[in-house]
Amino acid sequence: MEHGRAPGHRAGLTRTAVLGAARELLAEHGLAALSMRALARRLDVAPNALYSHIANKTSLLDDLLDDVLAEVDVPAADIDDPTAGLHQLMTSTYTVLLAHPDLVPLYLSRQGAHGPNAQRLGEITATLLRRTGISEPTVTEALRVLIVYTIGFAAFTSHLPQETGTEHQPSTAEMHDNFHQGLSWLLTGIQQDLPTPNPGGA
């Protein structure tokens, strides 16, 4: 007989297994079907076994959203061109979101993710924005705009056909090109607000 172990440990659970099963349920049956009891049934454990890893459904959703962001590729810390770094970072975020279309509506309704991965990506983005020459409060505003642009584009794209589009319904491939062009315009516009140097001094 085992002693001194939490219910989740007795069941052989890990946080990774819990989040993986939750992601499967969400993809198969939608948000309404995702409950702690349904998750316990999927994992073949008692519901109380989950609470060693997840506090409640709200925490579960927050953890799901943040966990996916670990897949985002970030530019090298010493990248020469911070604008190129921003383009790379937001493009990777867009690609990761499209790989998890069932989660995109949650990013919209919960206004992004707020866990450690989201905070790390936010800090990287803010650092790159500052390296382009802009400062507060523009950095905070620009960060918000880039997040909304990327999540919004992913939401629009996530249920489009992969290849063949029409005049009124572009394909995923066409939207990918649109995303890149629009992001370039957006980054250019953000930097147009930089103060113009005064060659004559103060």
The per-residue pLDDT for range 59-116, each reduced to its tens digit, is 999 999 999 999 999 999 999 999 999 999 999 999 999 999 889 988 988 888 889 9
Average pLDDT, integer, range 130-147: 94
Q: Quick one: the chain helix, strand, coil %, rounded to 5?
A: 65, 0, 35
Asked if 33 and 72 count as a contact pair (C-beta separation under 8 A), the reply is no
Burial level of 157, CB count in 10 A (0-12/13-18/19+)? buried
Tokens of 146: 């880039």
Q: Establish if 196 belongs to a structural domain.
A: no
**Residues contacting residue 129 through CB under 8 Å, at least 6 positions apart:** 82, 86, 138, 139, 142, 143, 190
Q: Establish if 197 belongs to a structural domain.
A: no
**pLDDT given for residue 99 in this prediction:** 92
Shared domain for 44 and 73, answered yes or no, is no
Cα 57 to Cα 68, 114, 118: the distances in Å are 17, 15, 19
Shared domain for 154 and 76, answered yes or no, is yes
What is the tally of structural domains in the chain?
2
Q: Establish if 148 belongs to a structural domain.
A: yes
Shared domain for 178 and 147, answered yes or no, is yes
Average pLDDT, integer, range 124-148: 94
- Number of C-beta neighbours around residue 159 at 10 A: 10
Of how many residues is the chain composed? 202
**Residues contacting residue 170 through CB under 8 Å, at least 6 positions apart:** 160, 178
**Residues contacting residue 67 through CB under 8 Å, at least 6 positions apart:** 19, 115, 117
Per-residue pLDDT reduced to its tens digit, 141-191: 999 999 999 999 999 998 776 666 566 778 888 899 999 999 999 999 998
- Displacement of CA 100 from its chain's centroid (Å): 10
pLDDT band at 198 (very low <50, low <70, confident <90, very high): low
Closest CA to 187 of 157, 150, 152: 150
Q: What CATH number has the domain bearing residue 13?
A: 1.10.10
Task: Supply the range of the domain harboring residue 161.
Answer: 69-191
Shared domain for 41 and 101, answered yes or no, is no
